[in-house]
Structure 1
Amino acid sequence: MPDDVTEIGPQTQIELEAAAFRRLQKHLMKDRADVQNIDMMNLTGFCRNCLSRWYQEAAAERGIEMTKDEGREAFYGMTMDAWKTNYQTESTPNKDAAFTTAFDENVAKKDS
């Protein structure tokens, strides 16, 4: 990436960022649907639900009303119930404990 992002122009930057987002979304939703959200959160501090929330927050910043469920459906391309039925597996007590820590460190503290 150039030192001065304006060298590529603001519209091109937006298009590149949008393309990268769409690629990440496809990767997480189709290519690696086997990776569990809880594992992503425990390892990286974010998961698909975070991305859908960021999508919802970006809509709100532009005056677009969107519920949590609508944000998730926009990101997941299906309802959360459908995702869980098709892709979510059972967790373990160790993963649940690690998730609580990861959520507190990466989501709860940042929201307050």
Structure 2
Amino acid sequence: MDDATRTELEAAAFRRLRDHLQTRTDVQNIDMMNLAGFCRNCLSRWYQEAAAERGIEMGKEDAREAFYGMPYAEWRDMHQTEASDAQKATFDTASKGH
């Protein structure tokens, strides 16, 4: 497989992950962090960093909108729930050194 095709396939898989997360609003970021070590905010930050590496200016909110499918504040108000004490404790343990 050539590099261009590999990049196209990786980009397609990445877009599918982004789209999947936009439809799974029931999946909370803290759960993703606790189970996988990353969340929508991480993906948006990585996207923003990749843009910056290529000399493209992108604000934090623009990058987040790419992963939430809407402004982050709107998504948060519509879909984010308060983390339980157990979720917070797991996050504190899991995120040490991260």
State the TM-score, normalized to the length of structure 1: 0.80
Superposed CA RMSD in Å reads 1.3
**Structure 1 residue 60 corresponds to structure 2 residue 25:** no
Q: 2:91 aligns with which of 99, 102, 110?
A: 99
Unpaired runs of at least 5, structure 2: none
% identical equivalent positions: 63
Moved over 2 A (4+): 100-106
* 9-18 or 64-73: bigger deviation: 64-73
**What is the match of residue 34 of structure 1?**
26
**What is the match of residue 23 of structure 1?**
16
Distance of 1:101 and 1:66 partners within structure 2: 32
Residue identity in the other structure for 2:30? I
Distance of 2:60 and 2:96 partners within structure 1: 19
The number of equivalent residue pairs is 98
State the TM-score, normalized to the length of structure 2: 0.90
Distance of 2:36 and 2:95 partners within structure 1: 10
Structure of greater Rg: 1
Unpaired runs of at least 5, structure 1: 1-7, 107-112
Q: 1:73 aligns with which of 65, 71, 79?
A: 65
Residue identity in the other structure for 2:81? T
